């Protein structure tokens, strides 16, 4: 299985998508449930900037969709849907679903983002997972992609909050990969982490949207327009 890091691209895309403006919306056919996960994807060949190319080189799986962001969904008593996620712009934040759907816009050709709702097959404890995530609202985004540093990136938030009553994690933690298919480190990552003043966290334990989307513990619910 290919290993990847998609977090920074997701953060930059969602810095616009997750503005505080907008109103909560009712879920279509009331099919979304609290604790469901929303996966945001873009075409695998989308992007012509250094970062997009570096990510594509590291994550290509031969499929058509590159999942770049994961968010937690919450349905309030009135049936309105909210998103809890971690982005570069707002850190860990709670905002209306329609804000993300309307403002997550791709700007090249006719390309469109994919919004897929997935659900845990065993979702008996999901309300507790969501409440745990809400306890981190206001925390900073983890631009360093390191575990247990008091910050969270998108899938790290899900990984750390989706913890069963027995203390076990629902999702798998894997070594992160920043290298391309030939095992070379793209110059983009070298420059980025040099600016941050830290080594590239190659092989540090972590998570990513593509890997989490493929979890055998999740099942497809629907696509959102």
pLDDT of residue 2: 38
pLDDT of residue 111: 83
Q: Which of 33-47, 63-77, 94-108 has the lowest mean pLDDT?
A: 94-108
pTM: 0.85
Higher pLDDT, 65 or 13: 65
Do 114 and 180 form a contact (C-beta atoms < 8 A)? Answer: no
Structural domains in the chain, sorted by start: 7-224 (3.90.1720.10)
Is the model's pLDDT at 101 over the cut of 50? yes
pLDDT of residue 43: 85
Give the mean pLDDT of 91-118: 87
| Kind and range of the H or E run holding 132 | helix 126-134
Give the mean pLDDT of 156-178: 95
C-alpha to C-alpha distance for 84 and 134, rounded to whole angstroms: 7
Summary mean pLDDT of the chain? 83
């Amino acid at each position: 299985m290919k290993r990847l890091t998609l977090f920074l691209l997701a953060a930059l895309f969602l810095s616009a998508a997750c503005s505080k403006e907008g109103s909560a919306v009712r879920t279509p056919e009331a099919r979304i449930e609290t604790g469901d996960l929303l996966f945001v994807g873009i075409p695998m060949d989308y992007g012509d900037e250094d970062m997009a190319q570096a990510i594509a080189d590291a994550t290509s799986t031969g499929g058509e969709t590159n999942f770049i962001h994961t968010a937690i969904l919450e349905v309030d008593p009135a049936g309105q849907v909210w998103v809890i996620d971690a982005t570069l712009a707002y850190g860990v934040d709670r905002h209306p679903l329609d804000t993300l759907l309307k403002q997550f816009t791709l700007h090249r050709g006719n390309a469109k983002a994919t919004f897929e709702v997935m659900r845990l097959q065993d979702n008996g404890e999901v309300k507790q997972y969501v409440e745990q995530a809400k306890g981190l609202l206001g925390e900073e985004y983890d631009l360093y992609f390191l575990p247990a540093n008091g910050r969270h990136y998108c899938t790290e938030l899900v990984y750390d909050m989706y913890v069963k009553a027995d203390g076990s994690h629902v999702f798998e933690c894997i070594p992160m990969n920043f290298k391309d298919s030939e095992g070379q480190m793209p110059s983009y990552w070298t420059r980025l982490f040099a600016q941050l003043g830290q080594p590239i966290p190659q092989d540090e334990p972590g998570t990513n949207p593509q890997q989490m989307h493929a979890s055998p513990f999740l099942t497809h619910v629907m696509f959102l327009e």
